[in-house]
Amino acid sequence: MSKPLAGHHVAVLLGGLSPEREVSLVSGAACAGALENLGAKVSRIDAGRDIAAVLTRLAPDVCFNALHGAWGEDGCVQGVLETLQIPYTHCGVLASALAMDKTKAKAVMSAAGVAVPGGGLFNRFEAARRHVMAPPYVVKPNSEGSSVGVFLVFEGANAPPQELASPSWGLGDEVLIEPYVAGSELAVGVMDGKAMTVTEIIPRTGFYDYEAKYGEGGSRHVLPARLPPEVFEQAKRYAELAHAALGCRGVTRSDLRYDDIKKVLVLLEVNTQPGMTPTSLVPEQAAHLGIGFDQLVLWITEDAYARGGAGGRAQRRPGPEQKLRQSN
């Protein structure tokens, strides 16, 4: 096997400080293994508050950012990497911060022509006292991912989620509340600005929560999604529009819902650092297009080099993006 990253030092940032730490550890381990297969010297960094000092000491050629959630995915770590002038994977500071703020991201995406659910921000204590909108609705932190802290309030519910008023709630005092859209859970990966394909997700419990996303057997993925052709193409268009409107780069994943009764398709959010775990959607979509996991990790890393002024030390080669364009 060729070693396209031989001689290159890649720091993989994993773990971190967010509630998505455990998922990030799995994503980072998988990516680090792929990078080693590709010949890179890999430093695994469990990212903490001393990240700038650690990176300054290690002086890697590029950072593969496998962090998920607040601090690692919201522009904070990206700002550190910009300051240190180290090329890094995935989105830049602004796109990362914007996509992580679900309310602001929805406003930007809506202005670009992407259909999004309604709703808005509410104080968590107010949202725990009374229904701020008629059920069914969804309550979620405004700046977290992986379905952390998400509640589905069904029609006929006597009271809102009381967990919102708990002293142990550590996900911000404002929560996003939006109408629940029934129907299919969908995901679209975007690579180099082009939609990959559409996956239909069927949770074992009926709700795509944290366990359904990451637990073994928690959900079943139907690839490609069983959708009318025009809905399939619209989902891809929405993902591409959202990726561009937020200023994203590299690989992202958009989450959508499709109500086949009301014929309503909405985009819920864009993940700027999609999961790279064994059950993750983007690697699965890449494999469907003939792009192996190591090849996907290579493309993401070389994309960072190409944008990071690495002096041409790692030249991007044709391959994954060509296959992607051929599939669209």
Note if the pTM is more than 0.95.
no
Span 78-127, pLDDT tens digits:
999 999 999 999 999 999 999 999 999 999 999 999 999 999 999 999 99
Average pLDDT of the chain is 89
What are the residue numbers of the active site?
20, 146, 214, 253, 255, 269, 271, 275
Place of tokens 């300051």: 83
Query: Has residue 217 got a pLDDT over 50?
Result: yes
| Mean pLDDT across 196-220 | 69
> What is the chain's percent helix, strand, coil content, to nearest 5?
35, 25, 40
Lowest mean pLDDT among 47-61, 65-79, 143-157, 314-328: 314-328
Name the token pair of 149.
Answer: 């802290």
State the Rg of the chain over Cα. Answer: 19
In the prediction, which pLDDT does 205 show? 64
| Mean pLDDT across 301-310 | 78
Lowest mean pLDDT among 38-47, 92-101, 186-195, 315-324: 315-324
Burial state string for 161-174 with b = 16 or more CB within 10 A and e = fewer than 16: beebeeeebebeeb
In the prediction, which pLDDT does 315 show? 41
Q: In sequence order, what E strands does 4-134 have?
A: 9-14, 41-46, 62-65, 120-123
Fold agreement between 9-90+292-327 and 98-115+183-271: no
Are the beta carbons of 261 and 201 closer than 8 angstroms?
no
Span 259-269, pLDDT tens digits:
999 999 999 99
Are the beta carbons of 323 and 192 closer than 8 angstroms?
no
Residue-range domain boundaries for the chain:
9-90+292-327, 98-115+183-271, 120-179
Q: Higher-confidence residue: 35 or 326?
A: 35
Among the four given CATH numbers 3.40.50.20, 3.60.15.30, 3.30.230.10, 3.40.50.980, the one describing domain 9-90+292-327: 3.40.50.20
In the prediction, which pLDDT does 143 show? 79
| Mean pLDDT across 195-217 | 69
Going by CATH, does the domain composed of 98-115+183-271 fall within 3.40.50.150? no
Q: In sequence order, what E strands does 102-223 have?
A: 120-123, 137-141, 151-153, 174-179, 184-191, 194-203, 219-222
